[in-house]
Structure 1
Amino acid sequence: MIESRQGTDGDDFVGALIRANSDGKKITDHELLMLVSFIIFAGFDTTRNQIGLGLQTFSKHMDQWRNLGENPDLARSAVEEVMRVNPTITWVSREASVDVEYKDLVIPQGKTIHLLTIPSGSDPRRFEKTEFDIAAGRPPHFGFGGGMHHCLGHYVARLDMAEAYKALAQRLPDFEILTGATYLPDSGNTGPIELPIKFTPSARRS
């Protein structure tokens, strides 16, 4: 993609990065490759994976799926609930910038720690009820990270997923996941590689 865009007058973000690479090497070839790769990964891969995991979750809670189809205004809260119980980002990594002591745990400066997102979404000290319920209204989850490293693209991701779930719930009211689904290994970012489903399509709604 980078090669095909070099020498063009693209006025988008990728075009600006390519020009910065060719204009006095403000960014190196390696930096350009890493930045473009990260844009693709962060902008598409995680959102796609989370939509697939949402279908996996809803397939076990078809009453909630029907509720979403009948009440599309619940789409935004459905995104939050799916990410609480079945997030594509299964852990968030941080590196200790200083020595840290928490209770009996000592984290030396420079050590990497992994914060698990799934247990944080079912902690009874934070969530009075943990069953999957898109209408419950929950405290914020940790699926987009937190603090100064909170996901910059979370607004776009939330909107994309809400629109996808809303449309799918209305068009595929009785979907079922078939055997043969395969998933990425749980290495911090997971999701379906193949997710075969069957359904009876309903009429398109305006």
Structure 2
Amino acid sequence: MVTSESPGLLIPKAGVDLGRPDTYADGVPYEVFARLRREAPVSWVDEPPHDGFDGGPGFWAATRHADIVEVSRHPEVYSSHVGATFLRDQRPRDLAALQQMMLNLDPPDHSKLRKIVSRVFTPKMVNGMFSSIARDAHDIVAGLEPGSEIDLVAKVSAEMPLMVLADLLGVPRSDRHLLYSWTNRMVGLDDPAYGGRAAFLSAFQEMFAYAEEQAEMRRRDPGDDVWSLIVNAEVDGERLSLDELQRFFQLLMIAGNETTRNLLTGAVLTLDRHPDQWAELRANPDLLEGAIEEILRFHPPVMQFRRTAVADAELGGQRIAAGDKVVVFYVSGNRDESVFSDPDRFDIHRNPVNHLAFGSGTHFCLGNSLARLEARVLLTELFARFPRMRVAGPSLRFRSNFINGYRELPVELGPAAARTAPEE
């Protein structure tokens, strides 16, 4: 909990624990973040015990856009590797395993691994996926029954990235629901709906066994998929170890699924809550590309990432000691009044070029172009086919201090409009 007794804090008790998943049960507490940006943009947050969590040493919450960018662009000061990127401290054994993921590396090790897959996600390569993504979007929407009520997450938002991810990894599309289950159980550690720690651990075991099997197949018979590229790549003259490959598979699976799934769900929910702008978007579909950027700013799929200071520093007027945790809250930086005018207003005409939905600096999301393309193609298809769709009931948020997403979103599709086959 944020308290006046915490070291260096400039404001009185804020009344919430920013590390507790239940703090976000009803949505992001934007009013709390606004107060922190005004009065103590870098503030100390205690980590009291809760829900089987033994508590932690506390962390610095960076809530202002400029400070988030500062942390993100200086890995030599704010490390992703030393304590990994999860807010809670990990057990030594778990930390050692997590530190092998590209997400939890600093340069130069991070740079070496990033080079392996960076060429797959160039704008040219991503644009080359348009036809297959358009067919996927067409098939997903074609399978929806006009006038029915569906769970948007299960039927639409999850399906799009899973189909694309299966193709990227070169795995059978019939296996995509295995990927879905593993992802939910790994990021859903704090959500009882996904089975808690036992389900979390079993997901790793199942996924790693699958990754090993797929790696062996690609080394015997390489294809043109991303996984073949990774398992046969060399770093400093050597191929990646099995442990490194398993962690790479985990990263691709989660990053290629969660961000897009939550972007798609957040888009429908946000537009439903702003019917005047949704009506304008329906009348002028050319506005969709810009609207997606505003949706990313207004409803970023990921709320925060953690770094660990490896040297004494100063951030936002606060002294940061080597060893301190620093957590960058993208959801707050995306509402920073010094960067975005009237930041709590959703505006599809805004041009939020500086939003932080995909991070910043060294770990800026490699797949951002692919996520944007998937969202644009799928939403275009969905809105054209069902122009009168609407949210039909309460959404069910993901219980997390990390993912800004939903487990369920009931949507009434309404009658279908005439449709054409996707462009080749």
CA distance in 2, matches of 1:185, 1:150: 25
Match of 2:390 among 158, 161, 176: 176
Question: Which residue of 2 is the match for residue 151 of structure 1?
Answer: 365
Structure 2: runs of 5 or more not aligned: 1-209
CA distance in 2, matches of 1:75, 1:92: 28
Question: Relative to 1, partners in 2 of residues 1:9 and 1:139: Cα closer, same or farther, differing over 3 Å?
Answer: closer
Q: Secondary structure at the match of 1:136?
A: coil
Letter of the 2:285 counterpart: P
1:80 aligns with 2:293: yes
Match of 1:100 among 301, 313, 317: 313
TM-score of the pair, normalised by structure 1: 0.86
Summarize the alignment of residues 156-171 of structure 1 with structure 2, pairs less than 5 Å apart: 156-171=370-385
Question: Which residue of 1 is the match for residue 197 of structure 2?
Answer: none
Question: Which residue of 2 is the match for residue 186 of structure 1?
Answer: 400
Q: Secondary structure at the match of 2:258?
A: helix
- By how many angstroms is 1:45 displaced? 2.1
- Bigger Cα displacement from structure 2, 25-34 vs 50-59: 25-34
- Contact 1:68–1:166 under 8 Å retained in 2: no
- By how many angstroms is 1:4 displaced? 4.6
Aligned pair count reads: 204
1:203 aligns with 2:418: yes
Aligned-residue RMSD, C-alpha: 2.4
Question: Relative to 1, partners in 2 of residues 1:103 and 1:85: Cα closer, same or farther, differing over 3 Å?
Answer: closer
Q: String of CA shifts for 1:154-178, please: whole Å, max 9, x gaps.
A: 1111122122222222222222223
Question: Which residue of 2 is the match for residue 117 of structure 1?
Answer: 330
- By how many angstroms is 1:52 displaced? 0.7
CA distance in 2, matches of 1:67, 1:95: 44
Computing the radius of gyration from Cα coordinates, the structure with the larger value is 2
Q: Secondary structure at the match of 1:84?
A: helix
Question: Relative to 1, partners in 2 of residues 1:17 and 1:136: Cα closer, same or farther, differing over 3 Å?
Answer: closer
CA distance in 1, matches of 2:342, 2:394: 33
Structure 1: runs of 5 or more not aligned: none
Letter of the 2:365 counterpart: C
- By how many angstroms is 1:181 displaced? 3.1
Q: String of CA shifts for 1:19-40, please: whole Å, max 9, x gaps.
A: 469xx97222221111011111
Question: Relative to 1, partners in 2 of residues 1:93 and 1:176: Cα closer, same or farther, differing over 3 Å?
Answer: same
Structure of greater relative contact order (alpha carbons < 8 Å, 6+ residues apart): 2
Match of 1:26 among 239, 242, 254: 239
